[in-house]
């Protein structure tokens, strides 16, 4: 299946934010276009946006590194594990392994427990120079216990990368802690809660030493001037974004409760999606749902995720239609 669903179906496979109206995003992008001249190179390292992000999060601009989406930063960080190896807490976002492979880094897989909880002792027993973990995790949706994550940060001898792509939907963030830690990097993105998936802007918050190292290894002009300005303007609209996030949370919790009436297991989530374990083949169910106009992510091949699908939480009318379609599929 292609990464991007075909037109004419509901896109519940890529965890995009469907709660911010397209008209709202178009307004922000149009204003950004008025403020920049796309003919010109501008802000080689995204320093203006880094300054705005520093104000937003209460850190220093020198502790923020802007990149072309979170993926860009994931790849920049992978070189730190080239010699000592990379530990990957699984099941999780596949891009961590791709990044490690690109740099030829030895890879160590660290499994969550059967309820998808982080076990610090498993991470700490891994011999690696860097560890990737997503919290809230993708595809499981849960944000790891904060004490467990902090234990890893405190005791792991290498760099700890905590990918908080979905943290706006979660319960806590480690951003304020990152600058004071020698080994912690927190990654964020404008692709999820902020609704700018197509603009490709992400950022990392860490201590000044690691931030400087990332900038040295990054590309100049990695982000377009239009994307940078749009992200900057979105920060000014946080109130509207926050309302959309709260509505997404309400629908997420309602959706999980409704799914509980079907013969499936919908796991608790701190993200903008749900992991759902089915009583049938997840690949078969994905195809049947696609026939009914819903694209979901089949994650049944991931560790601990047999016969699971990942479903983006959509606005309630779409969620109602999806649940109806899933019920029909399961009754076949």
Report field, pTM of the whole predicted structure over 0.85: yes
pLDDT at 219: 85
- Asked if 10-17+239-330 and 22-236 have one fold, the answer is no
How many C-beta atoms lie closer than 10 Å to residue 267's C-beta?
17
pLDDT at 183: 97
pLDDT at 147: 98
pLDDT at 1: 44
Weakly modelled stretches of the chain, pLDDT under 70: 1-7
Q: 22-236 adopts what CATH topology? A: 3.40.640
Domain boundaries, given as residue ranges, for the chain: 10-17+239-330, 22-236
pLDDT at 8: 81
Q: 10-17+239-330 adopts what CATH topology? A: 3.90.1150
Closest CA to 211 of 229, 187, 192, 227: 187
pLDDT at 34: 97
Count CA within 13 A, CB hemisphere, residue 279.
10
If 0-12 CB within 10 Å is exposed, 13-18 middle and 19+ buried, where does residue 33 land?
Answer: middle
pLDDT at 6: 60
Q: How far is CA 281 from CA 165, 180, 289, in A?
A: 29, 46, 12
pLDDT at 145: 98
β-strand partners of 67: 202
């Amino acid at each position: 299946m292609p990464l991007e669903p075909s037109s004419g179906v509901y896109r519940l496979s890529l965890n995009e934010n469907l709660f911010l109206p397209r008209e709202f995003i178009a307004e922000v992008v149009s204003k950004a276009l008025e403020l920049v001249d796309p003919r010109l190179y501008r802000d080689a390292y995204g320093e203006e946006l880094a300054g705005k992000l520093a104000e937003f999060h209460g850190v220093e601009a020198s502790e923020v590194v802007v990149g072309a989406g979170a993926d860009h930063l994931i790849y920049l960080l992978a070189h730190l594990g080239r010699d000592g190896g990379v530990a990957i807490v699984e099941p999780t976002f596949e891009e961590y392994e791709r990044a490690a492979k690109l740099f030829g880094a030895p890879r160590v897989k660290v499994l969550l427990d059967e309820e998808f909880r982080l076990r610090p002792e498993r991470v700490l027993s891994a011999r690696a120079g860097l560890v990737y973990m997503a919290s809230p995790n993708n595809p499981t949706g849960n944000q790891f216990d904060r004490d467990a994550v902090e234990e890893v940060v405190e005791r792991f001898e290498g760099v700890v990368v905590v990918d908080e792509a979905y943290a706006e939907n979660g319960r806590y963030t480690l951003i304020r802690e990152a600058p004071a830690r020698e080994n912690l990097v927190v990654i964020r993105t404008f692709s999820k809660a902020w609704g700018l998936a197509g603009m490709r802007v992400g950022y990392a918050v860490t201590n000044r030493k690691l931030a400087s190292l990332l900038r040295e290894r990054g590309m100049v002009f990695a982000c377009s001037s239009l994307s940078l300005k749009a992200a900057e303007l979105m920060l000014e609209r946080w109130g509207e974004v926050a309302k959309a996030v709260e509505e997404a949370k309400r629908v997420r919790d309602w959706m999980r409760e409704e799914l509980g009436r079907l013969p499936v297991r919908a796991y608790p989530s701190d993200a903008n999606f749900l992991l759902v374990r089915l009583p049938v083949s997840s690949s078969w169910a994905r195809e049947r749902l696609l026939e009914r106009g819903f694209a979901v992510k089949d994650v049944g091949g991931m560790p601990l995720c047999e016969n699971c699908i990942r479903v983006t939480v959509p606005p309630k009318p779409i969620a109602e239609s999806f649940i109806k379609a899933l019920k029909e599929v399961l009754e076949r």
